Amino acid sequence: MIKPVSVTDPDPAEFKQFARDHLTPYQVPVAHKFVDSLPRTHSMKAIRAQALEIAKG
């Protein structure tokens, strides 16, 4: 899951190419999903269980 910081919608193909250019092959994500926000606790930690549910669709 990726939360973009810019106001424009990210291009998935552009993201894949960026990952290939800057990461080693085993680090390049197989799948990715752009989201508006990540689920967080009151202390601003990511809630992994909810994030996994969002990722599953």
* Mean pLDDT computed over every residue of the chain: 88
Which pLDDT does position 7 carry in this prediction? Answer: 66
Question: Buried (b) or exposed (e) across 4-36, using 16+ Cβ within 10 A?
Answer: eeeeeeeeeeeeeeeeeeeeeeeeeeeeeeeee
Q: Which residue has the higher pLDDT, 11 or 20?
A: 20
Domain ranges of the chain: 12-56
Lowest mean pLDDT among 1-10, 21-30, 37-46: 1-10
pTM of the model: 0.62
26 pLDDT more than 90: yes
Which SS3 state, helix, strand or coil, does residue 40 take? strand
Which residues face 34 on adjacent strands? 2
